[in-house]
Amino acid sequence: DAGVTQSPTHLIKTRGQQVTLRCSPKSGHDTVSWYQQALGQGPQFIFQYYEEEERQRGNFPDRFSGHQFPNYSSELNVNALLLGDSALYLCASSRDPLARDSPDTQYFGPGTRLTVL
């Protein structure tokens, strides 16, 4: 049973560029959430996708956008990169309707480390 996977593992971009990060959820999960984790801090919620729609959004500018595909995989896009966007980007999947115990448990992928120069 594959867990949550993310690609790429590392990425280096320059200011002003655009980046796309990818996430495949754990088997059986239909909900994907994205987080940004700066060095030394806790993850910050960016948004959540369910049924191919953005269901909830944290306090992030419109430069951060996403997409969910019919197979439940998801992309995070960041436009006009700033130095401050350098962080570990984490994807979590959840909501297995067949899990009687704790169906909303979030499982995290290994993350994509983005460096903006």
Partner 1 sequence: GIQVEQSPPDLILQEGANSTLRCNFSDSVNNLQWFHQNPWGQLINLFYIPSGTKQNGRLSATTVATERYSLLYISSSQTTDSGVYFCAVERSNQFYFGTGTSLTVIP
* Residues at the contact surface with partner 1, assessed by CB under 8 A: 33, 35, 37, 41-45, 48, 55-56, 58-59, 88, 90, 92, 102, 104-108, 110-111, 113
Q: Which is nearer to partner 1, 18 or 100 (CB)?
A: 100
**Residue 85 to residue 80: CA distance in whole angstroms:** 10
Q: Which is nearer to partner 1, 81 or 111 (CB)?
A: 111
For CA atoms 44, 46, 50, 55, the dihedral sign is: positive
For CA atoms 18, 62, 64, 84, the dihedral sign is: positive
**Least distance CB 108 / partner 1 (angstroms):** 4
- Residue 62 contacts residue 77 (beta carbons within 8 Å): no
Say whether the peptide bond before residue 61 is cis (omega within 30 degrees of 0): no
Q: Which is nearer to partner 1, 46 or 116 (CB)?
A: 46
**Least distance CB 90 / partner 1 (angstroms):** 7
Q: Which is nearer to partner 1, 15 or 57 (CB)?
A: 57
